[in-house]
Amino acid sequence: MIDEDIITVNGFKAAAEAAALRKEGRLDVGLIAADEPVAVAGVFTRSAVKAAPVLWSRERTARGKARAILVNSGQANACTGAGGMEAAALSARTVAQELGCEEDEVLLASTGVIGEPLNETAMLRAIPKLKAGLSPDRLPEVARAMMTTDTKPKIVQAHGEIDGHPFRIVGLAKGAGMIAPNMATLLSFLLTDAVISAGPLQSILGPAVEGTLNRITVDGDTSTNDTVLVLASGQAGFEPLTLEEPARLKVFEQALADVLADLARMLIADGEGATKLVNIFVTGAVNEDQAKTAAMTVANSPLVKTALFGQDPNWGRIMMALGRSGAEFDPSKVAILFDQVTLVRGGMQVGIEDEAAQVMRQDEFSISVDLGAGSGRAEVLTCDMSHDYVSINADYRS
């Protein structure tokens, strides 16, 4: 994370307001506005249950141009029927009127309680205030306005240079629970002044998300509202990046992936009730897909996650998860390590549990699994499941 005082991107302004959509006295609505229509790309939840703002933004992102993102917390505007779509359209129309743009250039994102209608009155009252408050240095406030059960805002930036011209990427994200990869896993907005059109931007966003935000899990649940959007103002000054010049594009692509990786790490470190950040490495799988499947099954297992919280190197739970993952392997060839401590080799315990338990007392550590079946490998970030996770979600709507 970086100093909030210096987070700006050429071509963008932002503002946030406490609109009391659900609770009084906290920022809960944010607006990011480009100076003019800019290139946009996005990925959205694969859940069959999609919130109104997802349906609205997915259609408009496909057009390749956007002027603004309106985001709110507190109410997801999901499972709200025709009224939810009407509220989404009204919100976009009001922002468009304030900015003097087309309503189809306004993208929407919401997070909060599923099934609650959007508080239209509060939203419409807030939008003119957001327009009046737009400033280049208020992006960190939008990061706070997006929070639900998050304990801290998540915002990072990266710098790079192409053809002697500097460029910047700023990423914002929210998410602490209902986090599991399925194309997108949260709300995340990335803003850049790089010169790139919507086509190549969309081409590189999918793989960047797959290697970062799609390799994390808190609880195995995928939201109705998952949205990742990238907007590019094109003000960095270099010639446009294209798929035909992969070396130039790679510089930007790597910076984008780095920002997403930093955000992914912040999300898992701030998982609901989390006390441990754990890297699950799987190697020796038949292929990469099976490695990812095996790693994700271990990372999502409630029995494994509670053992992580208890600092108990119960490797049998890891073997159990691997066995039901669908990955192909011979159990008699499996090795399991906690950091550098080998606890299992040849599918049997060979190490000392107390040494593995010592590793698990750290706030962050890794569990490495070698399936001995091939060259496939994958890494997944997860966290433990504590008593607080249950308490937070039992009281979520209170």
Catalytic residues, by residue number, are 185
Q: How far apart are CA 396 and CA 398, in angstroms?
A: 6
The rounded distance, in Å, linking the Cα atoms of 15 and 128 is 11
Is-contact 113 84, C-beta < 8 A?
A: no
Centroid of chain to Cα 376: 25
User: CA-based angle 154:216:189, to the nearest 5?
Assistant: 40
CA R_g for the chain: 22
Residue length of the chain:
398
Q: What does the block give as tokens for 368?
A: 């490495």
DSSP letter at 213 equals: G
Tell the residue number behind the tokens 């931007």, with chain if given: 201
**Residue 342: strand pairing partners:** 337
Looking only at the bridges linking them, the beta strands covering 29-44 and 12-17 are: antiparallel
| CA atoms of 155 and 190, how far apart (whole Å) | 10
> CA 172, CA 153: separation in Å to the nearest integer?
8
Phi, psi (rounded to 5 degrees) for 111 = -150, 145
Closest CA to 218 of 185, 187, 190: 185
Exposed, middle or buried: residue 61 (CB in 10 Å: 0-12, 13-18, 19+)?
A: buried
CA–CA gap between residue 152 and residue 173 (Å, rounded): 10
Bridge partners, 68 (sequence order): 33, 106
